[in-house]
Amino acid sequence: MPTVTENQPPNILWISLEDTSPQFGCYGDSLAETPNIDGLAADGRVYTEACSTAGVCAPSRASIITGRYQTTIGAHYMRTRAYEPRHTKSSNTLFFRTISLRNSLSGVPEGSRILLYQQLEY
């Protein structure tokens, strides 16, 4: 496995799938044919245990996307509307300032520039 030096940041690939089990060759499933995932796993690190701050998918994903606990954004129930606490900047504002998809999906105005995470003002 490649090592990370002080001058080289880690190369992280986060794969999130919809309601899947560990039915991949890299997890020992003999029937699964998953050569691409298996190849990535062979060159990287495979985790077999994980913790979540919620027992259902939508609040868990909300936490991963925003980096906040579900209870702080109102996403701890499956079908409630999320809200922004008054003392924080809007997650949407930070998200759309970080990732500009042009007008394809996000509605970001033409000519907006892509900012790196480190360039965001807090």
Catalytic positions: 57
Backbone angles phi, psi at 36, to 5 degrees: -70, -50
Q: Side chain identity at 37, as an amino acid letter?
A: I
Both tokens assigned to 76: 């701890």
Nearest C-alpha neighbor of 13 from the set 37, 49, 48: 37
